[in-house]
Amino acid sequence: MNAGTKSMPSPLIKLALDVGPIVLFFVSFQFLGIFGATAVFMVAIVATLAITYMREGRLSPMPIFSAALVLIFGGLTLYLKNDVFIKLKFTVIYSFFGIMLIGGLAFGRLFIKYAFGEAFDLTEEGWRKLTWRWGLFAFAVAILNEIVWRNFSTALWVDFKIATIPLTLLFALAQTPLVLKHDNSPSEESGP
């Protein structure tokens, strides 16, 4: 592949790149504890960025931002030997997403189009509703994270963190009726 060509990842490769670091964090926690898992997570995030860049020839802002938070909060966790920082990262990133999505609405910006614009073509009302739903979902996950890490064991927090993957997928599937209702794609029907 030459430098000017970029390949679009298959959905399975994209999913593996998106959730792979979290799955590695979960698995390594079972054998290495929170500090070893944090180090593995940091390496996996950087590797994911490198692989994505090699495959696509570019990096989107959100994965870069997410990786920066992992490296900052993970670095603090390892340097200070305090797992609170890696736990807080989850709250910070989901709070940021919620603020960005819902705050963007106040300025007439639909940032959710950057995430889903290639997958869906929705009406303006559809994008607004989807933005509200994903923004509120992000805040709910951030609040749940705070409740879990402050009141339960680190092992249960790690289980919660991995459980957010299927939870997010289920939430995304639950948006299907909204997406279908506000689909703005040209109709494939032909003729009178």
What does each of the 192 residues of the chain score in pLDDT, given as a tens digit? Answer: 444 444 555 777 777 788 889 999 999 999 999 999 999 999 999 999 999 898 888 888 888 888 999 999 999 999 999 999 999 999 999 999 999 999 999 898 888 887 776 677 888 898 999 999 999 999 999 999 999 999 999 999 999 999 999 999 999 999 999 989 988 776 654 444
Distance in angstroms (rounded) separating the CA atoms of residues 44 and 67: 10
Q: Is the dihedral of CA 142, 148, 150, 153 positive or negative?
A: negative
